[in-house]
Amino acid sequence: MNIFGQLLSINFKPHLDLIAKLEKTVNVKSTAHFLIKKEERDCRAVELIESLGLHVHHSELFYTPAFSTRNIHVDGDVGDPPYASIFKINWIVGGTGSQMIWYETIDGYSPEKRKTVAGTYACIFDPKKCREIFNLQIENCALVQAGIPHTVVNQEEPRWAVSYVVSLSAGPGPLQSPSVSDIEQKFKNFLI
Main-chain dihedrals φ then ψ at residue 14, nearest 5 degrees: -80, 155
Q: Is 75 a binder of Fe ion (CB under 5 A)?
A: yes
Nearest residue to Fe ion, by Cβ distance, number only: 75
- For residue 66, give the amino acid letter: A
Q: Tell me how many residues contact Fe ion (CB under 5 A).
A: 2
Is 78:191 a contact under the CB 8 Å cutoff? no
Is 118:55 a contact under the CB 8 Å cutoff? no
For Fe ion, give the closer residue by CB, 50 or 124.
124
Closest separation between CB of residue 63 and Fe ion, Å? 13
Closest separation between CB of residue 33 and Fe ion, Å? 9
Long-range CB contacts (< 8 A, 24+ apart) of 126-132?
Answer: 126/72, 127/72, 129/105, 130/72, 130/103, 130/104, 130/105, 130/106, 131/103, 131/104, 131/105, 131/106, 132/101, 132/102, 132/103
Q: Is 60 a binder of Fe ion (CB under 5 A)?
A: no
| 126-155 binders of Fe ion (CB under 5 A) | 146
Closest separation between CB of residue 150 and Fe ion, Å? 6
Is 167:175 a contact under the CB 8 Å cutoff? yes
For Fe ion, give the closer residue by CB, 75 or 77.
75
Q: Is 77 a binder of Fe ion (CB under 5 A)?
A: no
Closest separation between CB of residue 161 and Fe ion, Å? 8
User: How many angstroms separate the CA atoms of 53 and 167, rounded?
Assistant: 9
Q: What does the DSSP 8-state code read for residue 177?
A: P
For Fe ion, give the closer residue by CB, 54 or 101.
101
Closest separation between CB of residue 58 and Fe ion, Å? 13
For Fe ion, give the closer residue by CB, 14 or 149.
149
Query: Using CB under 5 A as the criterion, which residues of the chain lie in contact with Fe ion when the complex forms?
Result: 75, 146
